Structure 1
Amino acid sequence: MKSNNRIPHRIIAIVCFFMLQCTYSQTVFGKWKTVDDRNGVAKAIVEVYKENGLLQARILKILEKGKENAVCIKCKGELKDKPITGMKIMDDFERNSKGEYKGKRLFDPEQAMVFRGKVWLDPDNKNKLKVRGYLAFLYRTQTWHRVIEE
Protein backbone atom coordinates (compact mmCIF):
# COMPACT_ATOMS: atom_id res chain seq x y z
CA MET A 1 0.00 0.00 0.00
CA LYS A 2 1.40 3.31 -1.09
CA SER A 3 1.24 6.20 1.41
CA ASN A 4 0.49 9.65 0.21
CA ASN A 5 2.58 12.32 1.95
CA ARG A 6 0.80 15.24 0.28
CA ILE A 7 -1.15 17.61 2.48
CA PRO A 8 -4.61 18.21 1.08
CA HIS A 9 -5.07 21.61 -0.52
CA ARG A 10 -8.01 22.42 1.73
CA ILE A 11 -5.88 22.16 4.86
CA ILE A 12 -3.26 24.48 3.35
CA ALA A 13 -5.98 26.96 2.40
CA ILE A 14 -7.46 26.88 5.92
CA VAL A 15 -4.06 27.38 7.55
CA CYS A 16 -3.30 30.30 5.20
CA PHE A 17 -6.70 31.84 5.95
CA PHE A 18 -6.11 31.71 9.72
CA MET A 19 -2.58 33.07 9.35
CA LEU A 20 -3.97 35.95 7.30
CA GLN A 21 -6.67 36.60 9.92
CA CYS A 22 -4.07 36.67 12.72
CA THR A 23 -1.86 39.05 10.76
CA TYR A 24 -4.81 41.22 9.72
CA SER A 25 -6.19 41.44 13.24
CA GLN A 26 -2.91 42.90 14.54
CA THR A 27 -3.15 46.14 12.57
CA VAL A 28 -5.06 49.39 12.88
CA PHE A 29 -5.88 49.24 9.17
CA GLY A 30 -9.24 47.98 8.01
CA LYS A 31 -12.89 48.75 8.63
CA TRP A 32 -14.14 49.86 12.04
CA LYS A 33 -17.56 50.49 13.53
CA THR A 34 -17.58 53.76 15.45
CA VAL A 35 -19.57 53.90 18.67
CA ASP A 36 -20.46 57.08 20.54
CA ASP A 37 -18.66 56.90 23.89
CA ARG A 38 -21.45 58.85 25.62
CA ASN A 39 -24.57 56.91 24.60
CA GLY A 40 -23.29 53.68 22.99
CA VAL A 41 -24.98 54.36 19.64
CA ALA A 42 -23.28 52.84 16.57
CA LYS A 43 -22.52 55.80 14.31
CA ALA A 44 -20.61 54.76 11.20
CA ILE A 45 -18.28 52.38 9.42
CA VAL A 46 -14.87 53.97 8.91
CA GLU A 47 -12.08 52.67 6.72
CA VAL A 48 -8.59 53.22 8.13
CA TYR A 49 -6.01 52.87 5.39
CA LYS A 50 -2.40 53.67 4.54
CA GLU A 51 -1.47 56.16 1.85
CA ASN A 52 2.10 57.36 1.24
CA GLY A 53 3.14 55.52 4.41
CA LEU A 54 0.72 57.52 6.59
CA LEU A 55 -2.59 56.60 8.22
CA GLN A 56 -5.74 58.05 6.68
CA ALA A 57 -9.42 57.39 7.41
CA ARG A 58 -12.73 58.04 5.69
CA ILE A 59 -16.37 57.37 6.45
CA LEU A 60 -17.75 54.50 4.35
CA LYS A 61 -21.27 54.30 5.73
CA ILE A 62 -23.44 56.04 8.29
CA LEU A 63 -25.24 53.58 10.58
CA GLU A 64 -27.28 55.96 12.72
CA LYS A 65 -30.97 55.81 11.82
CA GLY A 66 -32.26 58.88 10.03
CA LYS A 67 -28.75 60.20 9.29
CA GLU A 68 -27.77 57.82 6.49
CA ASN A 69 -27.63 60.65 3.90
CA ALA A 70 -26.39 63.39 6.23
CA VAL A 71 -24.43 66.34 4.92
CA CYS A 72 -21.99 68.50 6.84
CA ILE A 73 -24.30 71.39 7.78
CA LYS A 74 -21.94 72.97 10.33
CA CYS A 75 -18.89 72.76 8.04
CA LYS A 76 -17.39 75.82 6.45
CA GLY A 77 -15.61 76.21 3.14
CA GLU A 78 -15.39 73.36 0.66
CA LEU A 79 -16.96 70.82 3.07
CA LYS A 80 -20.13 72.91 3.63
CA ASP A 81 -23.22 70.80 2.78
CA LYS A 82 -21.09 67.94 1.42
CA PRO A 83 -22.10 64.32 2.11
CA ILE A 84 -20.52 62.89 5.24
CA THR A 85 -20.32 59.46 3.61
CA GLY A 86 -16.98 59.38 1.83
CA MET A 87 -15.57 62.24 3.90
CA LYS A 88 -11.95 61.99 5.04
CA ILE A 89 -11.73 62.29 8.83
CA MET A 90 -8.05 61.52 9.50
CA ASP A 91 -5.13 62.89 7.53
CA ASP A 92 -1.48 61.88 7.61
CA PHE A 93 -1.16 60.28 11.04
CA GLU A 94 2.39 59.04 11.66
CA ARG A 95 3.34 55.91 13.57
CA ASN A 96 5.56 56.35 16.62
CA SER A 97 7.82 53.86 18.41
CA LYS A 98 4.95 52.80 20.73
CA GLY A 99 2.83 51.62 17.78
CA GLU A 100 0.48 54.60 18.10
CA TYR A 101 -0.46 56.87 15.24
CA LYS A 102 -0.56 60.62 15.87
CA GLY A 103 -1.75 63.45 13.69
CA LYS A 104 -3.01 67.00 13.58
CA ARG A 105 -6.27 66.44 11.73
CA LEU A 106 -8.95 64.27 13.33
CA PHE A 107 -12.17 65.72 11.93
CA ASP A 108 -15.59 65.37 13.59
CA PRO A 109 -18.16 66.20 10.87
CA GLU A 110 -21.02 66.29 13.40
CA GLN A 111 -19.40 69.19 15.24
CA ALA A 112 -17.38 70.46 12.24
CA MET A 113 -14.32 70.53 14.48
CA VAL A 114 -10.71 69.50 13.92
CA PHE A 115 -8.68 67.95 16.73
CA ARG A 116 -5.18 66.61 17.17
CA GLY A 117 -5.51 62.85 17.39
CA LYS A 118 -3.99 59.60 18.50
CA VAL A 119 -4.98 56.08 17.41
CA TRP A 120 -3.84 52.74 18.85
CA LEU A 121 -5.01 49.15 19.21
CA ASP A 122 -6.41 48.18 22.59
CA PRO A 123 -3.62 46.08 24.14
CA ASP A 124 -6.20 43.69 25.65
CA ASN A 125 -8.27 43.26 22.48
CA LYS A 126 -6.77 43.81 19.02
CA ASN A 127 -10.30 44.05 17.59
CA LYS A 128 -10.81 47.36 19.41
CA LEU A 129 -9.29 50.62 18.25
CA LYS A 130 -8.81 53.52 20.62
CA VAL A 131 -9.31 56.91 18.95
CA ARG A 132 -8.50 59.98 21.03
CA GLY A 133 -9.09 63.60 20.05
CA TYR A 134 -7.28 66.45 21.81
CA LEU A 135 -8.37 70.06 22.17
CA ALA A 136 -5.69 71.90 24.14
CA PHE A 137 -5.19 69.80 27.30
CA LEU A 138 -8.65 68.21 27.15
CA TYR A 139 -9.27 64.93 25.37
CA ARG A 140 -11.97 62.38 24.61
CA THR A 141 -11.43 58.74 23.67
CA GLN A 142 -13.75 56.47 21.71
CA THR A 143 -13.46 52.73 21.23
CA TRP A 144 -14.14 51.53 17.70
CA HIS A 145 -14.86 47.87 16.90
CA ARG A 146 -13.26 45.95 14.04
CA VAL A 147 -15.65 44.96 11.27
CA ILE A 148 -14.92 41.32 10.49
CA GLU A 149 -16.14 40.53 7.03
CA GLU A 150 -16.94 37.00 5.99
Structure 2
Amino acid sequence: MKNWLLSISFGLLSCFYSNAQDIFGKWETYNRHTGEVRSIVEVFQKNGKVYGKVLRIMDKEDRDNLCTECEGDDKNQKIEGLVLMKNYEKDGEEYVDGTITNPNDGKVYRSKIWLDENDPNILNVRGYIGFFYKTMEWERMTE
Protein backbone atom coordinates (compact mmCIF):
# COMPACT_ATOMS: atom_id res chain seq x y z
CA MET A 1 0.00 0.00 0.00
CA LYS A 2 2.83 2.41 0.86
CA ASN A 3 4.56 1.74 -2.48
CA TRP A 4 1.33 2.35 -4.38
CA LEU A 5 0.72 5.63 -2.55
CA LEU A 6 4.33 6.69 -3.04
CA SER A 7 4.10 5.94 -6.78
CA ILE A 8 0.96 8.03 -7.17
CA SER A 9 2.46 10.89 -5.17
CA PHE A 10 5.64 10.82 -7.24
CA GLY A 11 3.62 10.68 -10.47
CA LEU A 12 1.51 13.69 -9.51
CA LEU A 13 4.59 15.63 -8.44
CA SER A 14 6.32 14.79 -11.73
CA CYS A 15 3.32 15.99 -13.74
CA PHE A 16 3.14 19.22 -11.75
CA TYR A 17 6.88 19.83 -12.07
CA SER A 18 7.00 19.15 -15.81
CA ASN A 19 3.97 21.37 -16.49
CA ALA A 20 5.57 24.18 -14.53
CA GLN A 21 8.71 23.83 -16.65
CA ASP A 22 7.25 24.05 -20.17
CA ILE A 23 7.32 26.96 -22.60
CA PHE A 24 3.60 26.95 -23.38
CA GLY A 25 1.38 29.75 -22.19
CA LYS A 26 1.30 33.53 -22.15
CA TRP A 27 4.46 35.63 -22.05
CA GLU A 28 4.96 39.35 -21.57
CA THR A 29 7.40 41.12 -23.88
CA TYR A 30 9.13 44.28 -22.68
CA ASN A 31 10.48 47.51 -24.07
CA ARG A 32 14.16 47.14 -23.19
CA HIS A 33 14.57 50.91 -22.72
CA THR A 34 11.57 51.64 -20.47
CA GLY A 35 10.89 48.22 -18.93
CA GLU A 36 7.20 48.54 -19.83
CA VAL A 37 5.21 45.56 -21.08
CA ARG A 38 4.77 45.92 -24.87
CA SER A 39 2.69 42.86 -25.68
CA ILE A 40 1.45 39.46 -24.61
CA VAL A 41 2.43 36.50 -26.78
CA GLU A 42 0.92 33.05 -26.43
CA VAL A 43 3.24 30.13 -27.18
CA PHE A 44 1.36 27.02 -28.27
CA GLN A 45 1.79 23.71 -30.05
CA LYS A 46 0.03 22.66 -33.23
CA ASN A 47 0.71 19.54 -35.31
CA GLY A 48 3.91 18.83 -33.37
CA LYS A 49 5.42 22.30 -33.98
CA VAL A 50 5.58 25.33 -31.70
CA TYR A 51 4.19 28.77 -32.56
CA GLY A 52 3.74 32.14 -30.91
CA LYS A 53 0.83 34.52 -31.49
CA VAL A 54 0.47 38.16 -30.41
CA LEU A 55 -2.57 38.12 -28.14
CA ARG A 56 -2.51 41.74 -27.02
CA ILE A 57 -0.59 44.92 -27.77
CA MET A 58 -0.58 47.02 -24.63
CA ASP A 59 -0.52 50.45 -26.30
CA LYS A 60 -4.11 51.01 -27.44
CA GLU A 61 -2.94 53.31 -30.26
CA ASP A 62 -0.92 50.46 -31.81
CA ARG A 63 -3.55 47.71 -31.65
CA ASP A 64 -4.80 48.26 -35.19
CA ASN A 65 -1.32 48.48 -36.75
CA LEU A 66 -0.74 46.27 -39.77
CA CYS A 67 2.36 44.32 -40.70
CA THR A 68 2.76 46.29 -43.93
CA GLU A 69 6.36 45.15 -44.48
CA CYS A 70 5.58 41.46 -43.96
CA GLU A 71 5.51 39.09 -46.91
CA GLY A 72 3.19 36.30 -47.94
CA ASP A 73 0.07 35.58 -45.91
CA ASP A 74 1.20 37.94 -43.13
CA LYS A 75 1.30 41.01 -45.37
CA ASN A 76 -1.10 43.73 -44.19
CA GLN A 77 -2.41 41.56 -41.34
CA LYS A 78 -3.06 43.14 -37.96
CA ILE A 79 -0.05 42.66 -35.70
CA GLU A 80 -2.38 41.92 -32.79
CA GLY A 81 -3.40 38.36 -33.65
CA LEU A 82 -0.38 37.68 -35.87
CA VAL A 83 1.46 34.36 -35.51
CA LEU A 84 4.98 35.76 -35.48
CA MET A 85 6.82 32.66 -34.21
CA LYS A 86 6.64 29.59 -36.44
CA ASN A 87 7.75 25.98 -36.81
CA TYR A 88 9.95 25.37 -33.76
CA GLU A 89 10.86 21.77 -32.98
CA LYS A 90 11.98 20.40 -29.62
CA ASP A 91 15.66 19.50 -29.36
CA GLY A 92 16.55 18.60 -25.78
CA GLU A 93 15.74 21.60 -23.60
CA GLU A 94 15.49 23.99 -26.56
CA TYR A 95 13.06 24.59 -29.39
CA VAL A 96 15.01 25.16 -32.59
CA ASP A 97 14.73 25.66 -36.36
CA GLY A 98 11.91 28.18 -35.99
CA THR A 99 11.49 31.66 -37.34
CA ILE A 100 10.39 34.90 -35.75
CA THR A 101 9.05 37.92 -37.60
CA ASN A 102 9.81 41.46 -36.51
CA PRO A 103 6.42 43.07 -37.22
CA ASN A 104 7.97 46.54 -37.31
CA ASP A 105 9.97 45.87 -40.46
CA GLY A 106 8.65 42.50 -41.69
CA LYS A 107 12.06 40.81 -41.44
CA VAL A 108 12.07 37.10 -40.63
CA TYR A 109 14.90 35.67 -38.55
CA ARG A 110 16.03 32.13 -37.78
CA SER A 111 15.27 31.57 -34.14
CA LYS A 112 15.36 29.30 -31.13
CA ILE A 113 13.68 29.51 -27.72
CA TRP A 114 14.33 27.98 -24.32
CA LEU A 115 13.52 28.45 -20.67
CA ASP A 116 16.13 30.18 -18.54
CA GLU A 117 17.99 27.53 -16.57
CA ASN A 118 17.78 29.57 -13.35
CA ASP A 119 14.21 30.82 -13.73
CA PRO A 120 11.56 28.83 -15.64
CA ASN A 121 9.41 31.98 -15.73
CA ILE A 122 11.83 33.56 -18.21
CA LEU A 123 11.68 32.53 -21.87
CA ASN A 124 14.78 33.28 -23.91
CA VAL A 125 13.93 34.16 -27.51
CA ARG A 126 16.93 34.39 -29.82
CA GLY A 127 16.89 35.62 -33.41
CA TYR A 128 19.84 35.13 -35.78
CA ILE A 129 21.32 37.02 -38.72
CA GLY A 130 24.15 34.83 -39.92
CA PHE A 131 26.48 34.40 -36.94
CA PHE A 132 25.07 37.40 -35.10
CA TYR A 133 22.14 37.12 -32.72
CA LYS A 134 19.98 39.01 -30.28
CA THR A 135 18.32 37.39 -27.29
CA MET A 136 15.20 38.79 -25.66
CA GLU A 137 13.85 37.70 -22.30
CA TRP A 138 10.10 37.32 -21.96
CA GLU A 139 8.43 36.87 -18.60
CA ARG A 140 5.75 34.27 -17.93
CA MET A 141 2.42 35.99 -17.41
CA THR A 142 0.78 35.31 -14.08
CA GLU A 143 -2.98 35.24 -14.21
TM-score w.r.t. length of structure 2: 0.81
* Distance in structure 1 (CA, Å) of the matches to 2:59 and 2:87: 27
Structure with max Cα Rg: 1
* Aligned residue among 39, 63, 66 for 1:44: 39
Q: Which moved more, 1:105-114 or 1:35-44?
A: 35-44
* Distance in structure 1 (CA, Å) of the matches to 2:95 and 2:14: 25
Report how far residue 105 of structure 1 moved: 1.7
Map of 2:80 onto structure 1: 85
Tell me the C-alpha RMSD between the 2 structures. 2.1
* Distance in structure 2 (CA, Å) of the matches to 1:32 and 1:129: 8
Map of 1:9 onto structure 2: none
The answer on whether the counterparts of 1:58 and 1:87 sit within 8 Å (CA) in structure 2 is: yes
Map of 2:29 onto structure 1: 34
Map of 1:147 onto structure 2: 141
Q: How many residues get paired? A: 132
* Aligned residue among 84, 90, 106 for 1:95: 90
DSSP-derived class of the 1:125 partner: coil
1:56 maps onto 2:51 in alignment: yes
Give percent identity, aligned residues only: 34
* Distance in structure 1 (CA, Å) of the matches to 2:72 and 2:118: 41
Map of 1:66 onto structure 2: 61
Structure 2 stretches lacking a partner, 5+ long: 1-11
Report how far residue 39 of structure 1 moved: 4.3
Q: Would the alpha carbon gap of residues 32 and 20 (structure 1) be closer, same or farther in structure 2, given more than 3 Å must change? A: farther
TM-score w.r.t. length of structure 1: 0.78
Map of 1:7 onto structure 2: none
The answer on whether the counterparts of 1:41 and 1:64 sit within 8 Å (CA) in structure 2 is: no
* Aligned residue among 107, 114, 138 for 2:132: 138
The answer on whether the counterparts of 2:89 and 2:98 sit within 8 Å (CA) in structure 1 is: no
Structure 1 stretches lacking a partner, 5+ long: 1-15
* Distance in structure 1 (CA, Å) of the matches to 2:14 and 2:133: 36
Report how far residue 91 of structure 1 moved: 1.3
The answer on whether the counterparts of 2:85 and 2:100 sit within 8 Å (CA) in structure 1 is: yes
Report how far residue 31 of structure 1 moved: 0.6
Q: Which amino acid aligns with 1:139?
A: Y
1:104-141 deviation line (CA, Å, top 9, x unaligned):
42111112110000100011111010000001111111
